[in-house]
Chains A and B, each alone.
Chain A
Amino acid sequence: MKNNTDTAASHFSRTRIRSLKDKLTAFNMAAGGIGVIVAIMLIFFYLLYIVYPLFKDASVSKTSQYSLSSEYGNTLHLAIEEQNKIAVQYTDRGYAVFFDAQNGKQIKTVKLFNSKASVSSFKLSTQVNNTVAFGLSNGHAVIVRHQFKISYPDDKIHIEPEIIFPAGKQPLIVDKNKKALLDISYQQDEDKASIVAITDDGRLVMSLLEKEEAGLLDEEDEQSSAEYSQSEISLPQIQDARYVLMDPLQRTLYVATIKGQTTVIDTSDLENIKVIQSINLLKAQQTLTHLSFLTGGISLLVGNNEGEIAQWFPVNKNNIPQLTFIRKFKPQQGAINDIETEQRRKGFISVSDAGQITIFNATAQRDVASVMLANTNLQHAALSPRADLLLTASNQQISAWHIENEHPEMSWSILWEKVWYESYSEPEYIWQSSSADNDFEPKYSFMPLAFGTLKAAFYAMLFAIPLALMGAIYTAYFMAPKMRTFVKPTIEIMEALPTVILGFLAGLWLAPFMEEHLVGVFSLLLIMPIGILAFAFGWQKLPKKYRLLIPEGWQAALLIPVVVFLAWLSLSVSTQMEVVFFGGDIKHWLKATLGLNFDQRNSLVVGVAMGIAVIPTIFSIAEDAIFSVPKHLTFGSLALGATPWQTLTRVVILTASPGIFSAIMIGMGRAVGETMIVLMATGNTPVMDLSIFQGMRTLSANIAVEMPEAEVASTHYRILFLAALVLFLFTFVFNTAAELIRQRLRSKYSSL
């Protein structure tokens, strides 16, 4: 009895343990399975997560507001240093006031000149070297530069602002007639500097400062004792001139009237200064309110009283640069009072007298953020070098804004439309992602890459589809079963061949081989089908005694020596044919006759190599589809008197066509995403050229080439992720469609 309860109890507990184990296993399996599936899906979401910020708008938020003391005069210009700690205000009484950028606390004030004259004009030279020019009411000019010395006493950052005078502390005499300077522009390089100004009686005056000895004009130590020689340059006079702007290279001078009539003067040769163009930048009735350079000193930003901003830059027409309208930006409310450009990107910020602040990107032609401050006349704006702090000034009132603007250079039109880049003669699709200096305008057009991807896939499919489908048809429908058991695995092994090996063979063996035997390769296209048909015809004519030695369904084996012979034939006569038909140098002939350039690593090579990589994929799926067409359909057709060929074309292929289509789609998906072959077998230049003798760069190869150098979280980095996302979605959609077609086909067969 006791025994029995024992067993019952142990049985009971064993059952419990067993059921517990069962549940545990079920739970583990479910958790593991779902976990892996989620992990796989993570790829998609992670790519999205990285790409998303590209399309986010910028944000602008006010962090503080304060007012500066009015004893030094009104604001002419503001600037901020790298750390966003200290800003400088230049005033119309000739002071430079350094203050804390967050709360306006004064740090240091410098009087810039001792003169009874007042400031009559002011202009920033270029932002990068922080140089500004003051034009005075007595025809003098003062050139000032501010800089920040950073030191780390006690491991704490200390920033010491200072003012230096690159052209000497004494005001320079720009106009001998001592008239007030209405506008002034100053530019300098290592050995010379130019000052151009407009006097209040409408004359254009220019002074050239030339270095006499080493150590002038630049670098802090020589400040005021700099030795230079000043000479006056005479310029053509322009009526009603109001704005003057010299480019940083001191080669071109832009002079504009209040109506926007702009004269371009070539000052690259000071002996021979000439007017090269005169053009109106505005419509009638509009007035020019702002004219300045975009970063890099090539593009002009033109702002008018109606709130419109346009970008212009010189474009070469017949080797003469012509100032050309490039693009305009979203109109603002009120006149444009100031445009402040970013120092490291082609972006800028405009402030209008109606109180609108808008952040733009020039290349992307995009306004990334906008803020409206009602009833405020905003006169000046300053952006920090990292473009994350903005100061706006309305009289003595300063507002500090925090800007979150990571990827302004991104827009749909940048990726997929033609963009007119600086120094190009027309809008173009260009991929050129990186360069060493800040003035560089990154060119992120996906078009050349997408074009290259599709071009490579197209040539690969051109080579692969006929071979794979014809092979599949023969293997599935005509081939003797014994041979099939050998042929199928052989071709499928090819699928496992690493693409790096195919790429290596294509780049280092096939490419030079094809270059050498180009004529032979093309003659193959002709010789091969004709030779095979001739052999087949001859075989047909053989007496039955010999013909029946090879059973039906072994044609492919019989043809192997024939194909080898034909290939050998056309390649061995290649050189002779080149001599006879193309004067001994086909590349030269192509260039002279057809105007085609020949790259050794070209689309032909990629087509063949990638074709070889996709043949097994297409072959295997198409063969399955054809082979599984129900046998009673073909028997019925044959029984009704159709020939095998008729049965094939009218019954079998029609029934299997969705399967064949899905095979092609999967092959296409593979060709689009293939990396190593394209990387190794082409020159990887992002050109858009359909020629079979030119290379390309594909999306995938581009990722492989540029990803290791892309800075994390930069626009370039995210754009490469976007390229990956495009590839991912493209192949995913293609493969899913193909898979659905196949599943439908399978259920159709089973119902037949």
Chain B
Amino acid sequence: MIKKWFKSGDPFIWLNASAVSISIIVVVGLLMVIAVKGLSHFWPAQIIQAELVNETGRTTLVGEIVDTSEVPVQRLIDSGIDIKTDKEVIERSLIKVGNRDVLGSDFRWVIFPENTSIIYPEELTVIERREWGNFYGYLLGISKNGQPLKTNKPLWQQLEQLIDEANQLHDKIRDIEKHEIGGINYELEQLRLKKRRLELDGVTDKSAYKLIESEKRALNDLYNQQKNALVKLYAEATTYTVSAKIMSGQTVTIPLAKIVRAYQPNRLNVFQKISIYFSRLAEFVFDEPREANTEGGIFPAIFGTVLMVILMAILVTPCGVITAIYLREYAKQGFVTRLIRIAVNNLAGVPSIVYGIFGLGFFIYFIGSEIDQIFYPEALPAPTFGTPGLLWSSLTLAILTVPVVIVATEEGLSRIPKALREGSLALGATKAETLWRIIIPMATPAMMTGMILAIARAAGEVAPLMLVGVVKLAPSLPLDGSLPFLHLERKFMHLGFHIYDVGFQSPNVEAARPLVYATSFLLVLVIVILNLSAIWIRNHLREKYRHLDS
């Protein structure tokens, strides 16, 4: 009977069906893994406390359970871990113990003996710090200038209030350092270049130099003012310290200025947890990275990606559309156009790294260094455009995505019924008028689709950017308050590269991993939305022309 069943071919149909199921599970599963791992990171997890007893004595373990898995005992023995158990499979947990400054590393694998009691004391505190990662432990007290702070408020309330103040202070300091002093430094650099330029041009007129000198003095004065303000703020920031006890019983002192946030997760109710969740999420999206990108936010990466993609769209859309119109409306249809069409189509399949190496060689080393020679001789030998930067990244990606725009626009143009063109021409309109009044308005959705697909492709592309402009940490955004506002020559941060860099080049991968998941989730979200909207526009467009055809 089974033989007959096989002969009918049914089992093969089922097997084919299973391929579809597997593919769908893979897609959905991947998205779910990213979403769950990325979004759960911001949730304040419970902190455990456990007493571990072994030959060397009792140790207390405080931390977050990050992962648990079952492993064969033999494998642990092979990797050099000494275990005495009669079981063949054992469960082990990855605990985030934090306190990197004292314990050396944030994470440790622990095998809990069977009778370990795990408790969740409400007083356990998590302190997120600007340096050394998280603190886990018990709060002891607050000191002011080294003396215990006398206050009638409860300790916790006092701390929360002080942290708020410290954060405001921190914002102020950062504002001065980044914007005020950063701006002054930029202007000083411009003045230096201006002077060098005058020297290069052979200007001997003393007054020009004097003018620069006086401007420079004014800026220096301003700089000193800001610096004094900064010194004062820094002094203020060192007033308060928090003393606390970690799991090994050691007491640590944490300057209040180094605290981002403190909470006692075991005490919080759901609403308080949600509030912390969103505060951490907001920090992730709107703040700058710290600790070699493994903590804090990714705002510069989001900003860089968006700006680069916008520039690219501005470059690519007109080029792609004009080429498509030329190919479809003006060029003589024949062997050559067919060949060009195939070539353009295939360029979409050329590996992106090839575009990257082309961009590096042609744009940066060839055109960029020419530009430097002609327009920026004063900055040489430091390159201005002869080094990877925003402009070259956008240009490289524009070349990479131009086939996408051409193909999509051409498809849109080919869908426009011939009758419409002929009607317009028959009424006496010139070809240009037909193009402007009839064809381009009708093909706009197709161009939009092309542009969105190009953006979606560009936003996720990393390999070429590694050669032509992204960096792991950009000192300043490519858009700021100093003239000319948009700095095309600057290097920038990028979401995709951020994922690669933090996930693979960072010294503390385990600690950075949740952030990488979160970054991935953000990137996937953006790209899926862009693609879905392109699909939606395309379908909408088809409906519209179906109506016209009839």
Instruction: List residues of A whose CB falls within 8 A of some B CB.
Output: 18-19, 21-22, 24-26, 28-30, 32-34, 36-37, 39-43, 46-47, 50, 466-471, 473-475, 478-479, 487, 489-491, 493-494, 496-505, 507-509, 516, 528-529, 532-533, 535-537, 540, 555-560, 562-564, 567, 575-576, 578-579, 583-585, 587-588, 612, 615, 619, 643-646, 648-649, 666, 669-670, 672-676, 679-680, 700, 703-704, 707-708, 712, 720-721, 724, 727-728, 731-732, 734-736, 739-740
Contact = CB atoms under 8 A, between A and B. Distances in A.
26 contacts: A18-B430, A22-B432, A28-B322, A29-B326, A33-B330, A37-B340, A466-B19, A470-B15, A474-B13, A475-B20, A478-B17, A491-B27, A494-B30, A501-B499, A505-B33, A516-B69, A556-B24, A578-B72, A579-B72, A579-B89, A585-B75, A676-B500, A679-B500, A732-B350, A739-B345, A739-B346
A697 to B, nearest CB: 13
Contacts of B19: 466-471, 474
A19 B430 contact: yes
Nearest to A701: B353
B394 interface: no
A560 B25 CA distance: 7
Contacts of B342: 736, 739-740
B27 A532 contact: no
Contacts of A707: 356-357, 360, 467
Given A50-B361, A507-B504, A644-B9, A585 B463 contact: no
A504 B518 CA distance: 12
A50 B359 CA distance: 13
A563 B13 contact: no
B329 interface: yes
Contact of A673 (B70, B354, B436, B461): B354
Given A29-B322, A36-B323, A721-B361, A564 B12 contact: no
Given A498-B459, A533-B11, A564-B25, 7 more contacts: A26-B432, A43-B399, A500-B499, A537-B11, A584-B75, A645-B9, A727-B353
**Which of B78, B457, B503, B516 has the most A CB atoms < 10 Å from its CB?**
B503
B368 to A, nearest CB: 12
Given A34-B326, A498-B496, A532-B15, A490 B24 contact: yes
B237 interface: no
B460 A724 contact: no
B10 A675 contact: no
Contacts of A540: 5, 10
Contacts of A26: 330, 431-432
A494 B357 contact: no
Interface stretch (B115-123, B183-191, B519-527): B519-527
B274 to A, nearest CB: 27
Nearest first, the 10 closest Cβ-Cβ pairs linking A and B are A645-B9, A33-B326, A673-B351, A584-B74, A498-B460, A470-B19, A584-B72, A25-B432, A32-B322, A555-B17
Contacts of B25: 560, 563-564, 567
A673 B433 CA distance: 44
Contacts of B376: none
Interface string B431-462: 11101100000000000000000001101111
**Which of B12, B17, B21, B69 has the most A CB atoms < 10 Å from its CB?**
B17
A491 B433 contact: no
A648 B12 CA distance: 11
Contacts, number: 337
A33 B431 CA distance: 17
Interface string B448-487: 0000000011011111001100000000000000000000
A496 B326 contact: no
A731 B527 contact: no
Nearest to A466: B19
Contact of A704 (B10, B353, B457, B513): B353
Nearest to A728: B354
Given A25-B435, A556-B21, A584-B73, A532 B33 contact: no
Given A33-B326, A33-B331, A50-B361, A496 B527 contact: yes
A578 B72 CA distance: 7
Contact of B528 (A496, A516, A704, A731): A496
Contacts of A43: 347, 350, 354-355, 358, 399
Given A537-B5, A555-B14, A579-B88, A498 B527 contact: yes
Nearest to B406: A36
B450 to A, nearest CB: 13
Contacts of B466: 704, 708
Contacts of A39: 399
Interface string B387-419: 000000000000100110010000000000000
Given A29-B322, A493-B528, A643 B8 contact: yes
Instruction: Identify whether the interface residues of A are mostly helix, strand, loop, or mixed.
Output: helix
Given A578-B72, A704-B467, A727-B351, A36 B460 contact: no
**Which of B11, B13, B325, B342 has the most A CB atoms < 10 Å from its CB?**
B13
B26 interface: yes
A46 B500 contact: no
Nearest to A15: B430
B362 interface: yes
A752 B347 CA distance: 31
A532 B17 CA distance: 10
A599 to B, nearest CB: 15
B365 interface: yes
A178 B520 CA distance: 81
B322 A33 contact: yes
Nearest to B429: A18
B18 A724 contact: no
A533 B17 CA distance: 11
Contact of B24 (A533, A560, A739): A560
Given A36-B320, A42-B362, A537-B2, A575 B89 contact: yes
A144 to B, nearest CB: 39
B534 to A, nearest CB: 9
A619 to B, nearest CB: 7
Contacts of B37: 509
A532 B345 contact: no
Interface string B104-134: 0000000000000000000000000000000
A536 B355 CA distance: 48
B22 interface: yes
A24 B432 CA distance: 9
Contacts of B361: 46, 50, 721
B499 A585 contact: no
A149 B71 CA distance: 67
A740 B89 CA distance: 57
A559 B14 contact: yes
B500 A500 contact: yes
A585 B18 contact: no
Given A563-B22, A575-B72, A675 B463 contact: yes
B313 interface: no
A244 B456 CA distance: 69
A675 B399 contact: no
B29 to A, nearest CB: 9
A504 B18 contact: no
A715 B146 CA distance: 62
A177 to B, nearest CB: 61
Contacts of B503: 504, 507-508, 680
A493 B27 contact: yes
A47 B330 CA distance: 30
A547 B252 CA distance: 68
Contacts of B349: 666, 669-670, 673, 731-732, 734-735
Contacts of A508: 503-504, 509, 513, 516
B342 to A, nearest CB: 5
A487 B24 CA distance: 8
A244 B329 CA distance: 80
A502 to B, nearest CB: 8
Nearest to B329: A29
**Which of A584, A619, A680 has the most B CB atoms < 10 Å from its CB?**
A584
